[in-house]
Amino acid sequence: MKLLFDFLPIILFFGAFKYAENHKEWAAAFASEHFGFMVSGGVVGTAEAPVLLSTVVVIVATLAQVAWVMARGKKVDTMLWVSLVLVVVLGGATIWFHNETFIKWKPSVLYWVMGASFLLSELLLRKNLLRLLLGEQLKLPDYAWQRLNLAWVAFFAVMGVLNLWVAYSFSTDAWVNFKLFGGIGLMLLFTLAQGVYLSRHVQEEPVAEAEAPGK
């Protein structure tokens, strides 16, 4: 359920884009009528309508995520706040300037922020974020936590570059497909690989000896 919640804005972005892409005339008219005040010139063309509408959807979805967490009295994750700021700023720029480049940069910036937080916490604060998150569930030697942390830093760095390569080398439709299937798929594969590594280094809790009879 948590995984679905985290990826919900991406799924909704994908769905909105695909629907608008197949109904461009309607999408342009709908966007111009309801969101024209948010767009430079007040008119949305058929070419940019799918991206603009899906960007509006992902902004609303991310705002709804934050509101839902707060309404339940829980703490909003730092990365969700970062994602909200990025999607509002870069998504807003995409809408106003009729330019999909801004929203295409959003995943890369988020990946790099996450990677930087893992790296800088280790280097500057001497805190391993993975250990803080999973230390109560997993018992690993120090070197294993360090390797895992660096692996995630490298993964986020590569994903950021890969996102931009797809964005600039292929069509927007291909980028949207990669954003959902490629991003989630690679994340799952990397997580599975981490699981294999963990299985080799997990330290089992010592089993307490049974109390002798009569004691």
Secondary structure string (H, E, C) spanning 137-154: CCCCCHHHHHHHHHHHHH
User: Per residue in 172-210, pLDDT tens?
Assistant: 999 999 999 998 899 999 988 887 777 776 655 444 444
pLDDT, mean of residues 46-69: 94
Quick one: DSSP state of residue 136?
T
User: Per residue in 106-156, pLDDT tens?
Assistant: 999 999 999 999 999 888 878 888 778 766 666 777 787 888 889 999 999
Q: Mean pLDDT check: name the lowest of 20-34, 150-164, 199-213.
A: 199-213
Please state, as a whole number, how many other Cβ atoms lie within 10 Å of the Cβ of residue 71. Answer: 8
What is this structure's pTM?
0.84
* Residue 213 clears pLDDT 60, i.e. is over it: no
